Structure 1
Amino acid sequence: MEKKIRSHFGKRTKGVHRRRYKKKQPKVNETVKNVLVLKGRKTSENIRDLLTDLYLITKPNAHKLTRKNDIVPFDDETSLEFLCNKNDCGLFVLGSHTKKRPHNLVVGRVYDNHLYDMVEFGVDSLKTIHEIKGETCVDGTKPLLVFNGDGFQFDEEYKMIKNLFIDLFKGVVVQSILLTSLQKSPNVDLTDMGPHFNLTKRRIQMASSDLTKTATWVHPSLRPKKVKNVSRNKLGDKVGRIHMGKQNYNSIATRKMKAFKKKKPNNQKYSQKNNRRNKK
């Protein structure tokens, strides 16, 4: 009896691990990336407040660790990769504070349980959500991201930072919006609701070209299907080419003129002529 119970519990635990492993495997339609918010060795009060605000903004797709962690991602990223894999998070936000780099914030991404890219910022002039009086955003609210400047279009580092922030704040991808559920009218009226802070770029670690190619690969089932005989001209107009088969001209409904129509004989006149011929 004891052997049966042990074997039963052993199979059950293996099934749990198998399901967890299958859940973390890559899918055709990927789920929303979770954000891991954590502290470094030492943190200042501004960094702690900023981490809590970023956690509130990215909820419910965020996981916050309350304990301090001995992590220096630019020197050794193994412990950071372990925590991201353990909490099933593809993005991370790490806050720290030292004499050399005060009020430090590191934002990065993980791909295939390995560090993909990350950027280090310095934080200045912070105003938290609680300091600014007014309305606060509801969980799951879609943000409006504005990137102003030529650097976000031509500079590779700033293009990577733009892509990173879009990946961090985009949340759940919504296909359609119910108009009756809108909280505000379409009129644009900007009010500061926090958090408000300035970022200064410090260090950056970009992904290699080979890793970027594998990470941005799209499954064939999700690729847009190519439409045959359709192209775009230099003006951007859509041009299509149609191949017609052999036409049967006998079945074409043409316009018939009244002059070419055959007149049907009158039945009375036709019957009188026949009677006269028969009498003769």
Structure 2
Amino acid sequence: MNCVLVLVRTLDGSKSLKAGCQPSFHHRRRRAAVLSSGSGIHVDEQQRELAPEANRNPIKNTNMTQLDGVVKPKTKRSKRFLDSRAPKLSEDVKTAMIMKGGNSNQTVTQALKDIYALKKPNAVLYKKKNITRPFEDSTSLEFFSKKTDCSLFLFGSHNKKRPNNLIFGRLFDFHVLDMVELGIEKYVSLSDIKASKCPEGTKPMLVFAGEAFDMDNEHKRLKSLLIDFFRGPTVSAVRLAGLEHVLHFTALEGKVYMRSYRCLLKKSGCRTPRIELEEIGPSLDLVLRRTHLASDDLYKLAHRRPKALKIRKKKNVSHDAFGTKFGRVHMQKQDLTKLQTRKMKGLRKRRGAVVSDDQEGGAAKAAKVDV
């Protein structure tokens, strides 16, 4: 072994000398002979290939094994993690990831924060910039959606060609399904409107006004996308006091106006309260720009429901327009000759009464007389 001095450069840029030992000629030749064999090279390449993946996701290599594209868990913790990501009959609440691009201004950043405040707690906000263009390459969005298990996204950016830009989108099977690009023309934030706000996690009531939401194909998809984005969790019932947040979308002359209101229940002198709307923000005037819509076949596939969730039709049961339930009962043919009727005492025949038949001209019959 030979001792040598090595010049080492640290992360802060400083230099230092360290003493080290260099293998002799015989050690180097023995090490070269080992590496020249097939097994030595295979082990080193395998370690180099696994090192970056282990740094990205250490749990995957320590607790899971991947054979033929199927990830098999090794521990109960990893099994629970895979079960939570597996398809279910009743899926979890849709979560949205909110991020900004490489170039963004104060308007876009504040708009993303306000929409995140409306979407909480079913949202993930990325504070760092992400240099990506969803309409040109959506691989980064698909990677982040798979990492955070999000099926909705909102991307904000700003440039000279498309200023104050927002992209609403949704994914199916971790692939982009629909994307709609909207430009902000006028914006009023939550903090600019001085009014009491709704509590976090309030389920909003969505109102859509305008013929474009029912006539134009792009506006139809935009309506469906906004419903998916803001609908919140699915619940069986909501108390009256919980209906206090309204999101109103109006389509008029190629623009979409988004307004947020709070319902105030006032006394009306009767059982039904009087409702007043108070604007709480945010308020956005949006203009429709680019769109990326899924094909009809893919859109139909994304709406397919499992057979276990389909309601089976009950035979011989029908409902009318008012919701009244009618049932049809099938019975066998009855023999009316064997029908047991009630015998009334007043209808019994009496002996001694005379029955005449003048119409037929017959002789009078002697009636029976009770003895």
Superposition TM-score, scaled by structure 2 size? 0.62
Q: Within 5 Å, which residues of 2 pair with 1:152-171?
A: 152-171=213-232
The counterpart of 1:48, out of the listed 109, 112, 115, is 109
2:131 aligned with 1:70, yes or no?
A: yes
Task: Verify the 8 A CA contact 2:204 2:243 in the aligned structure 1.
Answer: no
2:234 aligned with 1:173, yes or no?
A: yes
The counterpart of 1:211, out of the listed 282, 298, 303, is 298
Percent identity among equivalent residues? 42
The counterpart of 2:185, out of the listed 100, 119, 124, is 124
CA–CA distance in structure 1, aligned partners of residues 288 and 168 of structure 2: 11
- Who is 1:61 aligned against? 122
CA–CA distance in structure 2, aligned partners of residues 83 and 62 of structure 1: 13
The counterpart of 2:311, out of the listed 209, 224, 229, is 224
- Who is 1:201 aligned against? 288
**1:210 CA drift (Å):** 2.0
- Who is 1:273 aligned against? none
CA–CA distance in structure 2, aligned partners of residues 113 and 187 of structure 1: 45
Pair 1:238–1:149, CA change in 2 (3 A): farther
- Secondary structure in 1 matching 2:285: strand
More RCO (CA 8 Å, sep 6+): 1
- Secondary structure in 2 matching 1:177: coil
Q: Within 5 Å, which residues of 2 pair with 1:126-145?
A: 126-145=187-206
**1:241 CA drift (Å):** 4.0
CA–CA distance in structure 1, aligned partners of residues 144 and 78 of structure 2: 18
Pair 1:175–1:95, CA change in 2 (3 A): same
**1:10 CA drift (Å):** 4.4
The counterpart of 1:108, out of the listed 146, 163, 169, is 169
Deviations 1:95-153 (A, max 9, x none): 00000000000000011011111100001211111110111111221222221122211
Pair 1:27–1:45, CA change in 2 (3 A): same
- Secondary structure in 2 matching 1:147: strand
- Who is 2:89 aligned against? 28
Question: Which runs of no fewer than 5 residues in structure 2 stay unpaired?
Answer: 1-60, 65-72, 245-263, 266-272, 350-371
Pair 1:56–1:241, CA change in 2 (3 A): same
* Aligned residue identity for 1:244: M
Deviations 1:160-213 (A, max 9, x none): 100001101110111012457677535321111000111100000111122112
Pair 1:250–1:134, CA change in 2 (3 A): farther
**1:14 CA drift (Å):** 3.5
CA–CA distance in structure 2, aligned partners of residues 250 and 31 of structure 1: 64
2:174 aligned with 1:89, yes or no?
A: no
* Aligned residue identity for 1:159: K
CA–CA distance in structure 1, aligned partners of residues 292 and 126 of structure 2: 24
CA–CA distance in structure 2, aligned partners of residues 167 and 199 of structure 1: 18
2:318 aligned with 1:257, yes or no?
A: no
**1:220 CA drift (Å):** 1.3
**1:234 CA drift (Å):** 10
- Secondary structure in 2 matching 1:189: strand
- Secondary structure in 1 matching 2:178: strand
**1:232 CA drift (Å):** 7.0
Corresponding residue pairs, total: 255
2:279 aligned with 1:192, yes or no?
A: yes
RMSD: 3.0
- Secondary structure in 1 matching 2:214: helix
Pair 1:11–1:160, CA change in 2 (3 A): closer
The counterpart of 1:245, out of the listed 305, 309, 332, is 332
More strand by share: 2
More helix by share: 1
Pair 1:248–1:138, CA change in 2 (3 A): farther
Task: Verify the 8 A CA contact 2:97 2:153 in the aligned structure 1.
Answer: yes
Deviations 1:7-32 (A, max 9, x none): xx945883344432321111100110
- Secondary structure in 1 matching 2:312: coil
CA–CA distance in structure 2, aligned partners of residues 164 and 48 of structure 1: 21
CA–CA distance in structure 2, aligned partners of residues 165 and 217 of structure 1: 20
* Aligned residue identity for 1:191: E
CA–CA distance in structure 1, aligned partners of residues 121 and 176 of structure 2: 23
Which structure has the larger Rg? Answer: 2
Question: Which runs of no fewer than 5 residues in structure 1 stay unpaired?
Answer: 1-8, 263-280
Deviations 1:244-273 (A, max 9, x none): 2244758978565341369xxxxxxxxxxx
**1:223 CA drift (Å):** 1.1
Pair 1:253–1:71, CA change in 2 (3 A): farther
